[in-house]
Chains A and B, each alone.
Chain A
Amino acid sequence: MYYGIPSIDAHPDLVYRLNAIFNSKLALYMAFMFSSGLGWDRRLIEVGDWQQIRLPKSILNEDAAWTEVLQLEQWLRENWQPEPSPSLTDEIFGVEYRLDQAVFRLYELSEQEKILVEDTLQYNLTPLIYRKQNLDTLDAFSEPTPDDLAAYAERMCLQLDGILRYNNFRLIPKVYIFQEASPLCICQFTQKEGIERGVINRVNIHGLEKALSLLSPALRMEISDHLSIQRNLRIYDGQSFWIIKPSEKRLWSETAALIDADAVVREHMEASSFG
């Protein structure tokens, strides 16, 4: 969807700038985070939600960064169609992606903040909006691909290597790939000394699916009547640790890796003399 703002002719450049921001993923993220109802009880972004969207510091500046944003906004304004041809669909997706990245740069988001925005929309807002559908049909609840697990493992290593490298250690990640359907997925991380950066190992494994089927129900814990939580499991063993979680994409996103890395650090610090 690409939408516009009815306005008078005064300050057209400012209106185009606002239009670029309001059509970006970042605006949707802010609307979702600031709104009390978007995604929960309505699919509408209210006027009050729009008014809460923060604008970049450079909104009134003659900044070179705006040149690209305005060009992309103009292209989308003139070419976006509700039912485009296949070739135009690809082009629209490409320009929308570039607009999102350009807006991220305007707000000076860090690598991790961009991940948080993208994953929140993909794995939180979208499932909320489409929650009345069968959960199995939603991407967030589908089984993660080996590439998803590799991206998760790489992000986990990047985070933890940010600490471990100061003691000349790095993590080597290992992603387990099962032949049969498994209720849980596994990633293993091993600390090694004196290496530059660990390559992600993908290991095909057979026969562990049954053990994981036994383990899976035990990770579910009832905390109240009709309310239970699905726990994630971290197993520490010497220089290695394993992350074991249900086979759902939303739990193996890069944002999940950021959260899990925090948990690993917390458990190490609490187990050490600092804790």
Chain B
Amino acid sequence: MDSTEIDEAAEITNGVNNLHGTSYGSPSLDIDISYVRAVLALFIAGSIRLRAKKVVYASIAEDHVTYFLDEEMRAVQRANRSDIIHWIIQPNIKRDRTDPLLRCEPDFVFFWADEETDPDLCLYAEAKRLFGIGASLAGKYVDEGVLDFIEARYG
């Protein structure tokens, strides 16, 4: 080995003592934006399967749509050759350490960290029923549902 190679080996050796203790350099593959697209594709594929089953009807409870959609998305992923998207549904997240009653339950939480309990390392998604019995819920969804995200209630 020449001196350059020895220096490089030493640099790598010293560089491993970062956050995870095992990586060196800046991760720069296009994984972040692709991840969001993969999640959206999963939602769409799950929704197509769910629509074909005709189990969602006008008066169905919103949570039940979430459960059905979750099942179909898992079926889609099981049929794929990659199961790298991890998610859970409706976790009970404590928003305030001082108030045990202050909690929220986002419909879908996609996580990539080892522990899904860190509310800052996730993607949240809500399944909303915009049309059903009575007036459209679209306005209420924007006024209240989207505000939950904007006001960082889930973070």
Residue from the list B16, B26, B31, B82 in contact with A264, Cβ < 8 A: B31
Check: B98 CB closer than 8 A to any chain A CB.
no
Contact with A along B37-52 (1 / 0, CB 8 A): 1100100000000000
Contact of A271 with B27 at beta-carbon distance under 8 Å, contacts A162-B38, A211-B5 already known: yes
Report A-chain residues with C-beta under 8 Å of the C-beta of B104. Answer: none
Q: Chain A residues with Cβ under 8 A from B81's Cβ?
A: 111, 158, 162
How distant is B88 from chain A, measured CB to nearest CB, in Å? 15
CB neighbours (8 Å) of B33 from chain A are 167
B27 and A236 contact, CB distance less than 8 A:
yes
C-alpha spacing A275/B112, complex, angstroms: 10
Residue count of chain B within 8 Å CB distance of chain A? 40
Residues on A with beta carbons closer than 8 Å to the beta carbon of B78: 110
Q: Is the pair A236, B35 in contact by a Cβ cutoff of 8 Å?
A: no
Residues of A155-209 at the interface with B, using a CB-CB cut-off of 8 Å, are: 158-167, 169, 191
Which interface residue of B1, B21, B31 has the most chain A CB atoms within 10 A? B31
Residues of A within 8 A of B34 (CB): 163-167, 169
Option from A158, A238, A265, A274 in Cβ contact (under 8 Å) with B28: A238
Mark out the residues of chain B between 81 and 129 whose CB falls within 8 Å of any chain A CB in the assembled complex: 81-86, 112-114, 121, 123
Given A231-B22, A235-B24, A265-B112, A166 and B12 contact (CB-CB distance below 8 Å): no
Determine if B80 is an interface residue (Cβ-Cβ < 8 Å): yes
Cα(A158)–Cα(B83), bound, Å? 9
The answer to whether B27 and A218 have CB atoms under 8 Å apart is no
Q: Chain A contacts of B41 at CB under 8 A?
A: 166
The reply to whether B16 and A218 form a contact with Cβ atoms under 8 Å apart is yes
Known: A159-B82, A161-B82, A167-B37. A241 touches B32 (CB 8 A): no
Say if the beta carbon of A1 comes within 8 Å of chain B.
no
- Interface residue B144 (Cβ < 8 Å from any Cβ of A): no
Complex: A202 Cα to B86 Cα, angstroms: 31
- On whether the beta carbons of A269 and B24 are closer than 8 Å, the reply is no
Residue of A nearest to B16 (CB): A233
Q: What separation, in Å, do the CA atoms of A134 and B121 have in the docked complex?
A: 43
Whether, in the assembled complex, B54 has its beta carbon less than 8 Å from a beta carbon of chain A, the answer is no
CA distance A82 to B65 in the complex (A): 54
Say whether A269 contacts B13, CB under 8 Å. Answer: no
Chain B residues lying within 8 Å of A159, measured Cβ to Cβ, are 82-84
Residues of A within 8 A of B83 (CB): 110, 112, 159, 162
Known: A163-B82, A211-B5, A262-B112. A236 touches B30 (CB 8 A): no
Measured CB to CB, the closest approach of chain B to A23, in angstroms, equals 26
Determine the distance from Cα of A69 to Cα of B112 in the docked complex, in whole angstroms: 38
B16, B19, B85, B113 pick with most chain A CB within 10 angstroms: B16
Q: Which residues in A have their C-beta under 8 angstroms from that of B114?
A: 266
Q: Is the Cβ of A231 less than 8 Å from the Cβ of B16? A: yes
Question: Are the C-beta atoms of A164 and B85 separated by less than 8 Å?
Answer: no
User: In residues 107-121 of chain A, which contact B (Cβ within 8 Å)?
Assistant: 110-112
User: B31 touches which one: A110, A221, A265 (CB < 8 A)?
Assistant: A265
Residue in B12, B31, B85 whose beta carbon sits within 8 Å of that of A233 in the complex: B12
Q: Measured between C-beta atoms, what is the minimum distance from A228 to chain B in Å?
A: 12
Is the CB–CB distance between B27 and A264 below 8 Å? Answer: yes
B37 touching A166 by the CB < 8 A rule? yes
Q: Which residues of A contact B37 (CB under 8 A)?
A: 166-167
B31 contacts A164, CB within 8 Å? yes
Closest chain B CB from A82 CB (angstroms): 39
Contact in complex: A210, B27 (CB < 8 Å): no
A10-29 vs B, CB cutoff 8 Å, 1 = contact: the mask equals: 00000000000000000000
Given contacts A235-B24, A266-B113, 5 further A-B contacts (CB under 8 A): A214-B1, A233-B24, A236-B23, A236-B27, A275-B121
Smallest CB-CB A-B distances: 3 pairs: A162-B82, A166-B37, A236-B25
- 26 residue pairs of the A-B complex, CB under 8 angstroms, read A110-B83, A160-B31, A161-B82, A162-B81, A162-B82, A163-B34, A163-B35, A163-B38, A164-B34, A169-B30, A211-B5, A214-B6, A214-B13, A233-B24, A234-B23, A235-B23, A235-B24, A236-B24, A241-B27, A261-B84, A264-B29, A265-B35, A265-B84, A266-B112, A269-B31, A269-B121
